[in-house]
């Protein structure tokens, strides 16, 4: 580990006092960390000097207009979300966001009639109690939209899911992996990835049994796609997890961020530091990005090739755009903090390469499901007290 890396770890871990607000229960989305002292590393200080805090609406309406690429991505995302909402009237809004992201990342704009026709195919070929439909129906619809032969693709997804669940168990995350894998591999390859993913998952669970859950199996299988050895993956994940855990005094979301960062090449310390730079750059711009599973989406964005300042600018202008859209107000479950996560997701769709597509989607899956679980828990608690 380099001298500079050690200096960064020491400063962020001990001088920058970050204390997460405790969760009321294990399904609640973690609130924004409380930062008691801000002693920035040199790279972070340089970024903040170049990009001082500004009001987001002044940025949008003033000197920093949204680029044509971002404008196209944002408008396509809203169009896809609206089409999905019309096709599946009672669909989960968080899964609608995920499905819209899948379509938008692929450069596709959905047609309502097409979506309704595809839904009939799903109803004919997939059991109502399958995880491919429970929670996953909207992302499944999006995946079928991308196929020239939806029925054949759905048959392939069913076969891959049968293979995956035998090795990794039945869950929403395994269903989503099957949908993603159907676009890039055959059944034999999926079986090999599932076998290796289960080995990695067992290793993670042995090392961190308290914070490892069924969510980790999805990340383990994506890591199984890597050319790195199992030992290299485990060592890199552990090193990155330790750095982020020390910075935020939390264990859960740093573990998932470590998975995301390990899915690409590069020095672990450099990748972790870049994520921290982006987080604190947003904070200095008065944007309180949540320090729960939403951090995984920010981790995926930090892997793109743009500078920290450019990524911060993109998040701010996209969030401002979303704030003006229907069903993106606080009463719809999308306050500014959750819009920031959606903005990071769309920025990755705009700037990430093909290798980051699955990483971004999986990060969004975990973050959105964590948000939905927190919303469900809050609703249940409210009903119980009435």
User: Does residue 31 lie in a domain region?
Assistant: no
Tens-place pLDDT, residues 50-62: 544 444 333 433 3
329-333, 334-338, 359-363: which has the minimum mean pLDDT? Answer: 329-333
Q: Tell me the mean pLDDT in the region 145-154.
A: 95
State which residues form the domain around 120. Answer: 42-379
| Pairwise CA distance, residues 167 & 84, whole Å | 32
Burial of residue 121 (CB within 10 Å: 0-12, 13-18, 19+) is middle
User: Does residue 237 lie in a domain region?
Assistant: yes
Tens-place pLDDT, residues 82-137: 999 999 988 888 899 999 999 999 999 999 999 999 999 999 999 888 999 888 89
User: Does residue 167 lie in a domain region?
Assistant: yes
What integer best gives the mean pLDDT of the chain?
82
User: Does residue 330 lie in a domain region?
Assistant: yes
User: Does residue 223 lie in a domain region?
Assistant: yes
User: Does residue 329 lie in a domain region?
Assistant: yes
Structural domains of the chain, count:
1
| Pairwise CA distance, residues 219 & 361, whole Å | 11
Tens-place pLDDT, residues 161-179: 999 999 999 999 999 999 9
Q: Tell me the mean pLDDT in the region 289-302.
A: 91
| Pairwise CA distance, residues 234 & 25, whole Å | 29
User: Does residue 244 lie in a domain region?
Assistant: yes
What pLDDT is attached to residue 22?
A: 40
Closest CA to 54 of 323, 316, 285, 277: 285
Q: Tell me the mean pLDDT in the region 241-247.
A: 87
DSSP letter, residue 20: P
Buried b or exposed e, range 268-287, using 16+ CB within 10 angstroms? bbebbbbbbbbbbbbbbbeb
What pLDDT is attached to residue 12?
A: 38
Greatest mean pLDDT among 31-40, 282-291, 323-332 lies in: 282-291
- For the chain, give the percent of residues with pLDDT over 90: 55
Rounded to two decimals, the pTM is 0.81
Predicted confidence band of residue 44 (pLDDT cuts 50, 70, 90): very low
User: Does residue 13 lie in a domain region?
Assistant: no
Predicted confidence band of residue 211 (pLDDT cuts 50, 70, 90): confident
């Amino acid at each position: 580990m380099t001298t500079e890396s050690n200096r960064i770890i020491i400063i962020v871990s001990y001088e920058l006092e970050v204390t997460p607000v405790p969760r009321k229960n294990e399904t609640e989305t973690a609130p924004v960390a409380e930062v008691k002292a801000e002693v920035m590393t040199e790279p972070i200080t340089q970024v903040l000097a170049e990009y001082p805090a500004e009001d987001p609406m002044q940025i949008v309406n003033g000197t920093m207009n949204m680029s044509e690429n971002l404008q196209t991505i944002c408008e396509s995302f809203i169009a896809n979300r609206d089409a999905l909402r019309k096709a599946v009237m009672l669909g989960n809004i968080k899964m609608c966001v995920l499905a819209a992201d899948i379509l938008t990342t692929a450069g596709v704009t959905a047609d309502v009639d097409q979506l309704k026709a595809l839904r009939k195919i799903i109803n004919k070929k997939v059991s109502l109690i399958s995880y491919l439909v429970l929670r996953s129906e909207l992302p499944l619809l999006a995946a079928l939209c991308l196929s020239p032969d939806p029925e054949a693709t759905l048959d392939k997804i069913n076969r891959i899911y049968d293979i995956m669940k035998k090795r990794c168990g039945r869950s929403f995350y395994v269903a989503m992996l099957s949908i993603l894998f159907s676009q890039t591999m055959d059944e034999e390859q999926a079986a090999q990835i599932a076998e290796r993913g289960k080995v990695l998952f067992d290793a993670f669970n042995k090392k961190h049994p308290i914070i490892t859950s069924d969510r980790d199996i999805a990340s383990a299988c994506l890591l199984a796609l890597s050319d790195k050895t199992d030992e290299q993956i485990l060592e890199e994940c552990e090193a990155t997890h330790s750095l982020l855990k020390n910075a935020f005094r939390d264990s859960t979301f740093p573990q998932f961020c470590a998975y995301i960062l390990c899915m690409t090449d590069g020095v672990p310390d450099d990748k972790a530091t870049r994520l921290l730079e982006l987080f604190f750059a947003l904070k200095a711009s008065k944007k309180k990005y949540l320090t729960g599973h939403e951090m995984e989406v920010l981790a995926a964005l930090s892997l793109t090739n743009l500078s920290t300042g450019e990524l911060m600018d993109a998040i701010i202008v996209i969030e401002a755009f979303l704030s003006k859209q229907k069903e993106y107000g606080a009463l719809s479950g999308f306050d500014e903090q959750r819009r920031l996560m959606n903005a990071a997701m769309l920025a990755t769709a705009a700037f990430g390469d093909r290798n980051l597509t699955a990483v971004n989607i999986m990060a969004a899956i975990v973050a959105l499901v964590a948000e939905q679980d927190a919303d469900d828990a809050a609703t249940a608690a409210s009903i119980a007290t009435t």
